Amino acid sequence: MSSETAKATLIAAARDARERAHAPFSHFKVGAAVESVDGDVTTGCNIENASYGLTLCAERVAIFKAVSEGIRKFRSLTIVVDTDELTPPCGACRQIIWEFCGDIPVTMANLAGRTETMQMSDLLPKAFDARFLVD
Ligand code: THU
Residue 73 confidence (pLDDT): 98
* pLDDT confidence bin for 5, thresholds 50/70/90: confident
Predicted structure pTM score = 0.96
Q: How far is CA 120 from CA 12, 40, 47, 135, in A?
A: 21, 20, 23, 27
Residue 8 confidence (pLDDT): 97
CA atoms within 13 A on the CB side of 82: 9
Q: Domains in the chain, ordered, with CATH?
A: 3-124 (3.40.140.10)
> Which one of 28, 54, 106 would you pick to mutate in the ligand 1 pocket, going by the greatest count of ligand atoms within 8 A of its CB?
28
Angle made by CA atoms 115, 106, 61, in degrees to the nearest 5: 110
Query: What share of the chain has pLDDT > 90, as a percent?
Result: 95
Ligand 1 centroid vs 62 CA: distance in angstroms?
13
Q: What are 72-126's pLDDT values in tens digits?
A: 999 999 999 999 999 999 999 999 999 999 999 999 999 999 999 999 999 999 9
